[in-house]
Amino acid sequence: MVISLKTDDFNFKIIHVYAPNSSLEKLAFFDELSQVTNKYTGNDFILLGDMNTVVDNNLDIISGRPHGKTEVDRLNEFVDTLGLCDVWRSFHEGEKEYTWSKQNPFIARRLDYCFVTETLVESCTSCDIISVPFTDHRAVALDISSGSFVRGPGYWHFNNALLQEKTFVEEMNELLDTLVTAKTGDTYISKQWEMAKIKNKRILY
- Residues annotated within the binding site for Mg(2+) are 50, 52, 136-137
Rounded distance between C-alpha atoms, residue 120 and residue 15, angstroms: 14
98 is known as an active-site residue: no
Catalytic residue among 9, 18, 80, 143: 18
CA–CA dist 61, 135 (Å, integer): 19
CB-CB neighbours of 2 under 10 Å: 13
Catalytic entry in 50, 92, 128, 188: 50
In single-letter form, the type of residue at position 54 comes to V
Catalytic entry in 40, 44, 92, 137: 137
- Does the annotation mark 186 as catalytic? no
Q: State CA 170 to chain mean position distance.
A: 27
Binding annotation:
50, 52, 136-137
Query: Is 31 marked active-site?
Result: no
Query: Where does residue 87 rank: exposed (0-12), middle (13-18), buried (19+ CB within 10 A)?
Result: buried
List residues with catalytic annotation: 18, 50, 137
